[in-house]
Structures are given as C-alpha cells and as structure tokens.
C-alpha cells in the first residue's frame, strides 16, 4: 500500500494538471462513441465527414458546458461566503479566474487548425486542451474594451529562446515583441536567471535590446516599457539607452512591495541555510554529480560537468524533497502567493497557529505572541539544475504590475490581473516556476519558442 501510494500519488500527480486532465477525460467519451477506427478498412462504416461533424458537435457542447461552469466559478469567487463552485468541487485545484474563457469559440478555432474532430485513433490530447485554453485566454484578454491587455510578461528559457540559449537578432519573436510595444503593451521578462549585473541579461537578451535601441518608430516612452525581473522576484532592470548594456539596475527600495519589504533578511538567510542543507543531503543520497551554488537570494545545484545532464527524475526528486523540508520548517511558505501574507508565530513560543475568536475585554489581556511573515520561496527544476529562489513569479509579475502603474502616475492602481498575460512553459504544480503566476494574472502555457510566436500572432491579430 505504501509503495502504491508513493507511485500513484507522490511521484505522479505533480506531473499533471488536474483541470486539463479533467477536460481531457470529458472529451474521451464522445471520442470513444463517435470515432470510426474501422473506417480504414470497413466500407460500411460511417463516412469520415459525418463522424467528424458529430464529434465536433459533441466536443463543442462539452466546452460550452465547461465555459458555463467557469462563469459560475467566477461569480462565486467574488462572493464573501467562500462556498465552493461546482467546478471547485470537481477540480479542487482550480484557482481564481480573472476573465471568462470562451472555450467553445476557442475549440472551433483550434479544431480548424488541428482537425481534432477528424481523428479516429488519437483522442483529444493534453496538448490539444492546453492550446484550446491558450486560445480562449487570448480571446478573453483582447475582447473586453473596458479592460484591454496592458502587460505581457514572459519566461525566458523555452519561452523566448531554447533552453540555455539566447534571444538572437534572427529570432522571429523580436518583431512581434516590438509590435507589442508599438501597441503600448508593457513587457516584463520574468526569469529565474538570478544575475546581479546587467551584462549577463544583455548576453541572453541582446537581440531584443539592440532591436529596441535601433527602432525608429518606437517612442522613448515605448522603448522604456520593458523591464527584466531576474531571480523570480529579486533583481529588477529597466531599459537605459545610455548604458553600455542597454539595461540599468533598479535599487530594491524603489520597487519592493510592502509585503516583500517586510521579509526579514535574517529569515531569508535562515531559509536558504535550510535549503542548502536539504540540497546537500539530496546530492549525497542520490549520488548526484552536482555542485552547490549559493547566492544572496537563491541556492541551488548545478552539474559538475556542464555537458552532463542529471536525470529528470533525480531533479524532480530533489525539488520535491527540498520543497517539503522547507514547507515543514518554521520559515518557508511555497503556498504564499503575492498579496497573501502568512504570519507565523516565532519558534519556541508554543502557541497554536489556529486563529482564535476575538477575546472578550479583560482588565489585563495576555500579551500577544510575536508574529512574523513566512518567507515565500520557489523550488524548481530548471531542466539541468535545481534552485530555490526567494519569492516566486507571482511576486515578480506583481512588481511589474506596480512598476508600470507607478511610472504612469498611478502607484495605488497597479495593472489588474485581467489586464495581465503571463506566458511561460512551466505550469505543473511542483518544480515549475510559472505556476504561481496564475494567482496574479491570466496565463498562457506554451511548450516552445515556436508556440510563443504562434500565440503572439493570434494575440496581435486581435489587439
């Protein structure tokens, strides 16, 4: 029983997205009922055209029903009674939705492109559903005139460029990113790469930065509508045409949110100490050919030989072990998204963490225990390495929302979640650092720079 529990739950569910898997399961029924695999050799079987028509109708009905369930979920998440929606009961991991999703229209669009309804042997796949959700989100963020898209944030590796590569001048993404700036859509590149100097980010993004500098039709304000947020949420760089690397670091005191400013430096150091010890233990236990790397706001392991790839399973095991150790400590909180502070009682005071009702007035109430906020962190699998960063991309995207609002003279009105789109490749619940961005804005889940290019084409055609 223990072994089966480990295999079926602990080691597999972290590689799945419950919402997509649930939709995929709904679509499996009409596929089984209406697909015609015998049509390959049986002349009496129904025609492919008739099969595709009926399958399309049933698939569209399912997406329409899910669309209505999301509408109900959105209406309930705005109520104060915290009663779960039907969708929340069916998919407990369902989080907030910032916009409604026109899933039926998105399915019709993707079915024309991918001919999902015409398939006889391959049922609607995870990737089919993922791309339909992306299409629905693009339709949503470009449909509402009262809340147009204002900010697009991007992951780096696998989103803008291949893993470990750079954004070269020849990249087809560069003209599309410039088009976003021309349309006054702000850009934030929110990457896990935790460089402290501008030259390292210039090396990775020089194609885009040089294109912005050389552009004749971008206004100075549009050129300054791009920032780089490094280390998830730890280093902010703004565009600076006078800098040799076209980027200038922004001091933390200018962009830290009030919640981030409350994180204790001592607690940050203590959290990284615990993470470092956990990583050392994993290197020893799994006999990993890895070297530990400690930074001021992160700690991780990298291969001793840059040409060697640590097995994915070993990287995932390391992420899950370190994450669990940090969650059980008195310092870290991987569940704390931007804007949701989690106070904890100082170690050793023996106080129950369960909230208690407001006490009635007494002549001498007992002194309240000293409380502090847990430090948010993100343990993630970078494909070749494992790192633990302070904060996560929900905080990085939040900083971008507040930064551009402040530059526009609206510091108290940050860009809203429904006007923000984060595009990335890592959205699985464990070991994936784009996942947390779902709590502060709309998202699109891509799998390659080519998919990002296609997504931006759809987006720009609708803006």
Q: Which of 155, 385, 389, 434 is catalytic?
A: 155
Helix (H) or strand (E) holding 153: strand 151-154
Query: Is 457 an active-site residue?
Result: no
- Residue 312 in contact with residue 260, Cβ under 8 Å? no
State how far the Cα of 407 lies from the Cα of 400, in Å rounded to an integer.
Answer: 11
Q: Which of 17, 157, 389, 392 is catalytic?
A: 157
State how far the Cα of 443 lies from the Cα of 462, in Å rounded to an integer.
Answer: 17
- How many other β-carbons are positioned within 10 Å of the β-carbon of residue 352? 8
Query: Is 389 an active-site residue?
Result: no
Q: For the stretch 360-373, what's the b/e string if a residue is b when 16 or more beta carbons lie within 10 angstroms of its beta carbon?
A: eeeeeeeeeeeebb
| Cβ partners under 8 Å of residue 24, min gap 6 | 123, 124, 125, 126, 129
Among 400, 442, 446, 416, CA closest to 139: 442
Among 125, 115, 110, 65, CA closest to 90: 65
| DSSP-assigned letters across all residues of 154-178 | E-SBTTTBSTT----TT-THHHHHH
Among 245, 255, 261, 256, CA closest to 200: 245
Sign of CA dihedral 179, 185, 191, 194: positive
Beta-strand (E) ranges in 222-345? 226-230, 235-239, 247-250, 290-294, 298-303, 332-333, 343-345
State how far the Cα of 251 lies from the Cα of 109, in Å rounded to an integer.
Answer: 45
- Residue 283 in contact with residue 292, Cβ under 8 Å? yes
State how far the Cα of 133 lies from the Cα of 19, in Å rounded to an integer.
Answer: 10
* DSSP-derived pairing of the beta strands 298-303 and 290-294: antiparallel
Beta-strand (E) ranges in 366-453? 371-373, 375-381, 386-390, 420-424, 442-445
Among 324, 298, 163, 330, CA closest to 232: 298
DSSP state of 338: T
Phi, psi of 184 (to 5 degrees): 65, 30
State how far the Cα of 206 lies from the Cα of 210, in Å rounded to an integer.
Answer: 6
* DSSP-derived pairing of the beta strands 290-294 and 247-250: unpaired
Active-site residues: which are they?
A: 155, 157
């Amino acid at each position: 029983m223990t072994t089966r529990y480990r295999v079926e739950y602990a080691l597999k569910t972290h590689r799945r997205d419950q919402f997509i898997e649930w939709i995929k399961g709904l679509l499996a029924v009409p596929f089984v009922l209406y697909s015609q695999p015998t049509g390959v050799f049986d002349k009496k079987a129904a025609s492919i055209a008739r099969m595709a028509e009926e399958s399309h109708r049933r698939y569209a009905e399912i997406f329409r029903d899910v669309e209505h369930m999301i509408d109900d979920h959105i209406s309930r998440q705005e109520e104060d009674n915290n009663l779960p929606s039907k969708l929340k009961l069916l998919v407990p991991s369902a989080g907030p939705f910032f916009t409604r999703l026109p899933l039926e229209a998105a399915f019709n669009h993707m079915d024309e492109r991918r001919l999902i309804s015409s398939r006889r042997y391959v049922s609607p796949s995870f990737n089919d559903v993922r791309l339909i959700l992306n299409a629905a989100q693009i339709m949503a963020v470009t449909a509402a005139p009262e809340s147009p898209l204002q900010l697009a944030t991007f992951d780096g590796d696998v989103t803008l460029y291949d893993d470990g590569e750079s954004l070269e001048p020849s990249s087809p993404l560069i003209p599309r990113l410039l088009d976003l700036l021309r349309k006054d859509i702000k850009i934030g590149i929110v990457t896990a790469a935790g460089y402290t100097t501008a030259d390292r980010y210039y090396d990775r993004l020089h194609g885009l930065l040089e294109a912005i500098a050389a552009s004749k039709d971008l206004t100075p304000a549009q050129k300054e509508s791009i920032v780089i947020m490094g280390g998830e949420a730890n280093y902010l760089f703004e565009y600076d045409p006078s800098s040799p690397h076209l980027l200038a670091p922004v001091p933390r005191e200018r962009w830290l949110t009030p919640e981030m400013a409350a994180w204790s430096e001592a607690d940050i150091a203590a959290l990284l100490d615990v993470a470092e010890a956990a990583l050392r233990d994993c290197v020893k236990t799994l006999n990993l050919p890895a070297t530990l790397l400690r930074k001021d706001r992160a700690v991780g392991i990298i291969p001793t030989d840059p040409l060697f790839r640590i097995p994915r399973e070993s990287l995932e095991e390391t992420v899950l072990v370190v994450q669990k150790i940090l969650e059980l400590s008195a310092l870290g909180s991987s569940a704390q998204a931007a804007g949701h502070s989690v106070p904890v009682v100082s170690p050793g005071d023996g106080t129950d963490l369960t909230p208690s009702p407001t006490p009635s007035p007494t002549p001498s109430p007992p002194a309240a225990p000293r409380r502090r906020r847990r430090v948010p962190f993100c343990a993630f699998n970078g494909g070749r390495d494992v790192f633990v960063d302070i904060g996560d991309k929900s905080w990085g995207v939040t900083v971008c929302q507040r930064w551009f609002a402040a530059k526009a003279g609206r510091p108290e009105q940050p860009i809203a979640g429904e006007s923000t789109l984060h595009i990335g490749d890592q959205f699985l619940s464990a070991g994936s650092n784009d996942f947390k961005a779902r709590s502060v804005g709309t998202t699109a889940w891509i799998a390659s720079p080519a998919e990002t290019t296609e997504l931006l084409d759809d987006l720009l055609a609708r803006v």
